[in-house]
Amino acid sequence: MISSDVIRGYTDIIILYLLLDEPSYGYEISRRITDRSQGLYTMKETTLYSAFNRLEKNGYLRSFAGTETGGKTRTYYELTPQGHTHYQLKKEEWMVTKKVVDQFIK
């Protein structure tokens, strides 16, 4: 299990990544985080909601009420054009960060 302190700075990039291709809703995003990290990291609901809120206020996400086929109404989130740009920026930032930190790992 990863400590939430370590991963805090990457919450945004994780969420933005999962929304790159199509809109999604809270629980589905949460489940995909756990799945993609092979159970090593589960994002707490409050962390997730707090990130949605922040990303939306910054204009990176847009929320709308949507209905799953035959399902119930949920709040869906989708990436805005600014969100795509922000993802690219965060991605480059991470590449550099990773490169730097890797210099100190043996």
Partner 1 sequence: MDAIFSYLDNMFAHLPKTEEVKRAKSELGQMMEDKYNQLRAEGRSDNEAVGQVISEFGNLSELAAELGISNQYQQASSDDNFVTVTDAEAESFIEKTKKSARLIAGGIASVLFGVISVIFFSGYAEGLFNPAVLLDGEPNKRFVAAGIALLFICVAFAVYLFVMVGIGSEKYEIFEKKMVKLEPHQKFVIQEARENHRPLLMRKISLGVVLILLGVAALSVVSILNENNEALILSAVCGLLVVIAISMWLFISGSMLQSAYDKLLNEGDYTLERRKSQSVMQRWAPPYWTLMVVGYLAWSFITGAWHKTWIIWPIAGVLFGLISAIVQASTPNKE
Binding residues for partner 1 (CB under 8 A): 25-28, 30-31, 42, 44-50, 52-54, 74-75
Between 26-36 and 45-57, two packed helices, what is the crossing angle to 10 degrees? Answer: 110
Q: Would you say 23 or 84 has its CB closer to partner 1?
A: 23
**How far is the C-alpha of 82 from the C-alpha of 104, rounded, in Å?**
34
| Order of strands, sheet of 24-25, starting from the edge strand that comes earlier in the sequence | 24-25, 73-79, 61-67
Q: Smallest distance, Å, CB 96 to partner 1?
A: 28
**Least distance (Å) between residue 17 CB and partner 1:** 19
Q: How far is the CB of 100 from partner 1 (least distance, A)?
A: 28
